[in-house]
Amino acid sequence: MVVLGMTNTCRIAVIKGDGIGKDVANAAMEVAQAATSRVGGCVLRFDETLAGAGYYAETGQDIEPGGEVRVGEADAIFLGAIGLPAIRHADGTEISPHLRLRDRYGLYAGVRPVKAYPNAPQRLADPRAANIDMVILRESTEGLFYSAAVHNRSQIIGDTEVRDTLRITRATTEKLHRFGFRLAEKRKERGKGGRLTCVDKANVFASMAFFRKIFDEIAPEFPSVQADHAYVDAQALNLIRNPWDYDVMVMENMFGDILSDLAGGLVGGMGMASCAEIGDETGLFQPAHGSAPDIMGQDKANPLAAILSAALMLEYLAEKTGNARFDEAAQLIDDAVQAGFEANALRPMEFGGDMGTRAVTTEILSRVTARISA
């Protein structure tokens, strides 16, 4: 980070990746650049790093030489999407350098906002579904994904058995739970729920009982937050039956991977699923959807998950630099998306609408400009 007078210039490491990752990353960076330019006092400089399945097919490496170190030196990392179904490792797993980045940079707090917008598809008939506004907080470096970040953590026994390790550590879990309580506190200050639910399977697994035990130890530090528990199978039912009752939910890696997709389906689909993965030193921001290579380059992808992820990145930069202008830029983007749906001016093809990647991006850009100019 370079400080020039009252202006912060932040370097963003951009990994566009595969499939529609390129399309949506370009859209997100364009919107983020426009928002910071409009508010002034903060500047983004983008530095692209090549990585992904396509790059692996060409070079035999999943990220360009020096890229894994270079992205960690940036103020934040933005990722489009990685993975192509036809390109895999010999053991059948996908090319996934981003999992290694989570591990290397300790990106333990996976923040998955879930918000219903007017005129976007709502899968539940109950009118209360219009009020869904919650966050799934997914631990992103341990849990069952611990074996996936580095391949030798899985034990392959010939062609007869495979064992994957689920790991829960006190150090990471304490940081995760405190992050969750602070997030619930911030949301309460903004008029939202102020509730943190620990989602686990503590009645069966010792690892999950440990996860819950640490949650209960930390809860008294945050008396203003309502703390409670739910078993993951019951919580899956709750997210269908009464999702509007929940605020922030904290959970193990695999549980978060599954429930965040379920929750995303309640508010339109993965094209709205933004994501932040935050550690002590840096953060990685990406849409939670896949690379959808069948529609890449066809102006069909919904860029809103990526654009909302860029807003999360700007919020992170505000906290990291102490420059509130980044927060103002993030709010411009969030307001533009909200107002666009309210006016039925955002109609992504993903939802059966008539607007492709470029049209959605242009609409958001026009509203970012209009909001600051009004």
E strand or H helix that includes residue 44? strand 42-48
In a domain, 117, yes or no: no
Residues 104 and 199 placed together within one structural domain of the fold: no
In a domain, 115, yes or no: no
The shares of helix, strand and coil residues in the chain, as percent rounded to the nearest 5, are 50, 20, 30
Domain final residue pick, 266, 289, 314: 266
**CATH number, residue 323:** 3.40.718.10
In a domain, 205, yes or no: yes
Q: How far is Cα 136 from Cα 103, in angstroms, rounded to an integer? A: 20
Please tell me what DSSP assigns to residue 359: H
In a domain, 116, yes or no: no
Q: Which stretch of 215-219, 310-314, 370-374 has the lowest confidence by average pLDDT?
A: 370-374
Position 2 scores a pLDDT of 41
Helix runs in 74-205, H state only: 97-104, 146-149, 170-189
In a domain, 114, yes or no: no
Predicted confidence (pLDDT) per residue in 211-229, tens digit: 999 999 999 999 999 999 9
Mean pLDDT to the nearest integer, 322-347: 96
Position 4 scores a pLDDT of 42
Which are the contacts of 351, defined by CB distance < 8 A and separation ≥ 6? Answer: 120, 121, 268, 269, 271, 302
Residues 281 and 262 placed together within one structural domain of the fold: no
Residues 126 and 259 placed together within one structural domain of the fold: yes
Here the tokens at position 122 are 């709502």
Rg (alpha carbons) of the chain, rounded to whole number: 20
Predicted confidence (pLDDT) per residue in 172-196, tens digit: 999 999 999 999 999 999 999 999 9
Query: In this model, does residue 372 exceed pLDDT 60?
Result: no
Domain final residue pick, 247, 266, 285: 266
Predicted confidence (pLDDT) per residue in 118-163, tens digit: 999 888 989 999 999 999 999 999 999 888 765 567 788 888 998 8
Residues 281 and 180 placed together within one structural domain of the fold: no
Domain final residue pick, 239, 266, 293: 266
Query: In this model, does residue 91 exceed pLDDT 70?
Result: yes
More reliable by pLDDT, 75 or 7: 75
Residues 255 and 128 placed together within one structural domain of the fold: yes
More reliable by pLDDT, 92 or 25: 25
Predicted confidence (pLDDT) per residue in 9-47, tens digit: 999 999 999 999 999 999 999 999 999 999 999 999 999
Position 150 scores a pLDDT of 59
Q: Which stretch of 105-114, 154-163, 217-226, 359-368 has the lowest confidence by average pLDDT?
A: 154-163
More reliable by pLDDT, 89 or 339: 339
Residues 95 and 163 placed together within one structural domain of the fold: no
Query: In this model, does residue 303 exceed pLDDT 60?
Result: yes
Query: In this model, does residue 7 exceed pLDDT 80?
Result: no
Q: How far is Cα 145 from Cα 140, in angstroms, rounded to an integer? A: 8
- Considering the chain, what percentage of its residues have pLDDT values greater than 70? 96
Residues 245 and 353 placed together within one structural domain of the fold: no
Residues 198 and 127 placed together within one structural domain of the fold: yes
Residues 247 and 311 placed together within one structural domain of the fold: no
**What residues make up the domain containing 62?**
1-108+276-374
Residues 269, 263 contacting (CB under 8 angstroms) = no
Query: In this model, does residue 113 exceed pLDDT 80?
Result: yes
